[in-house]
Structure 1
Amino acid sequence: MRIADFHVTPIAISDPPLLNAAGLHAPYALRVIVEVVSDDNIYGVSELPGGADVLADLESVRHLVVGRDPFRLNAIARDIEAHFGSATSGDWQPMRTTIHSRRAARAFGAVEVACLDLIGKAVGRPVCDLLGGKVRDRVPFSAYLFYKYEGAGGELGFAIDPKATDWAAARQAAALTPDGIVAQAQAMCREFGFKSLKLKGGVFAPQIEVDTIFALREAFGPHTPLRLDPNAVWSVETAIRYGKQMEGALEYLEDPTRGQEGMAQVAKAVNIPLATNMCTTSFEDLPGSVRLGSEHIILSDHHFWGGLRASVELARICRTFGRGLSMHSNSHVGISLRAMAHLAAAVPNLTYACDTHYPWQCEEVIVGGRLQFDDGDLVVGDAPGLGVELDRAMLARLHENYVKCGLTERDDEAEMQKVQPGWKFMETRW
Structure 2
Amino acid sequence: MSPSRISRVVVTPVAFADPPLLNVVGVHQPWALRAIVEVHTDSGLVGLGETYADEAHLARLSAVAASLGGIDPFDLAAVRRVVVDVLGRETGGAGASFGGMLDVKSAVDTVHSPFEVACIDLQGHETGRPVSEVLGGRVRDSVPFSGYLFYKWAGHPGLPDDEWGEALTPEQLVAQAHRMVDGWGFGSLKLKGGVLPPSEECDAIEALRDAFPDLPLRLDPNGGWTVDTSVAVASRLSGVVEYLEDPTPGIEGMAAVSARTDVPLATNMCVIAMEHLPLAIAADAVQIVLSDHHLWGGLRRSQLLAGITETWGLGLSMHSNSHLGVSLAAMTHLAAASPTLTYACDTHYPWKTQDLIKPGVLSFSDGALSVPTGPGLGVELDRDMLGLLHEQYLECGVRRREDTVYMRTIQPDFEVNTTRW
1:406 correspondence with 2:410: no
Amino acid in structure 2 at the alignment position of 1:409: R
Q: Is this contact kept in 2: 1:230–1:254, CA < 8 A?
A: yes
Larger deviation: 1-10 or 77-86? 77-86
Change over 3 Å in CA distance of 1:194–1:294 after alignment to 2: same
Equivalences for residues 151-190 of structure 1 within 5 A: 151=155, 158-160=159-161, 169=163, 171=164, 173-190=165-182
TM-score by length of 2: 0.94
Going by fraction, where is helix more abundant, 1 or 2?
1
**1:2 — aligned with what?**
5
Deviations along 1:289-340, one digit per CA (max 9) or x if unpaired, are: 1110110000000000000000000000000001100000011111100100
For the pair 1:102 / 2:106, whether they are aligned, the reply is yes
1:143 maps to a residue whose letter is G
Residue 326 (structure 2) aligned to one of 325, 335, 343: 335
Q: Are 2:365 and 1:374 equivalent residues in the alignment? A: yes
Question: Closer, same or farther in 2 for the Cα pair 1:327/1:176, shift >3 Å?
Answer: same
Give the conservation status (yes or no) of the 8 Å contact 1:145–1:198. yes
After TM superposition, list the pairs within 5 Å mapping 1:25-424 onto structure 2. Answer: 25-87=28-90, 102-151=106-155, 158-160=159-161, 169=163, 171=164, 173-221=165-213, 223-368=214-359, 371-424=362-415
Deviations 1:131-167 (A, max 9, x none): 100000000000000000012x6xx973037xxxxxx
* Alpha-carbon separation, structure 2, partners of 1:186 and 1:392: 34
| Count of aligned residue pairs for this structure pair | 410
Change (3 A) 1:114 1:214: same
Question: Structure 1 residues 110, 88: closer, same or farther in 2, change over 3 A?
Answer: closer
**1:55 CA displacement:** 0.6
* Pairwise CA RMSD: 1.7
Displacement over 6 Å in runs of 4+: none
Cα offset, 1:243, TM superposition: 1.4
Q: Distance in 2 between matches of 1:113 and 1:159?
A: 37
Q: 1:369 to 1:158 in 2, by over 3 A?
A: farther
The one-letter amino acid paired with 1:174 is E
**Cα distance, 1:288–1:34 mapped onto 2, change above 3 Å:** same
5+ residue gaps in structure 2? Answer: 94-101
Q: Distance in 2 between matches of 1:190 and 1:157?
A: 30
Check 1:363–1:285 CA distance in 2 against 1; reply closer, same or farther (3 A cut): same
Output one character per residue of 1:9-38: Cα deviation in whole Å (capped at 9) or x when no partner.
Answer: 000011000000010000110000000000
Partners of 1:197 and 1:370 lie apart in 2 by: 24
State how far apart, in whole Å, the 1-side matches of 2:279 and 2:360 are. Answer: 43
Alpha-carbon distance in 2 for matches of 1:422, 1:49: 29
Alpha-carbon offset, residue 85 of structure 1 = 3.9
**Equivalent residue letter for 1:11:** V
Q: How far apart are the structure 2 equivalents of 1:418 and 1:338?
A: 35
Measured in 1, the distance between the counterparts of 2:187 and 2:66 equals: 45
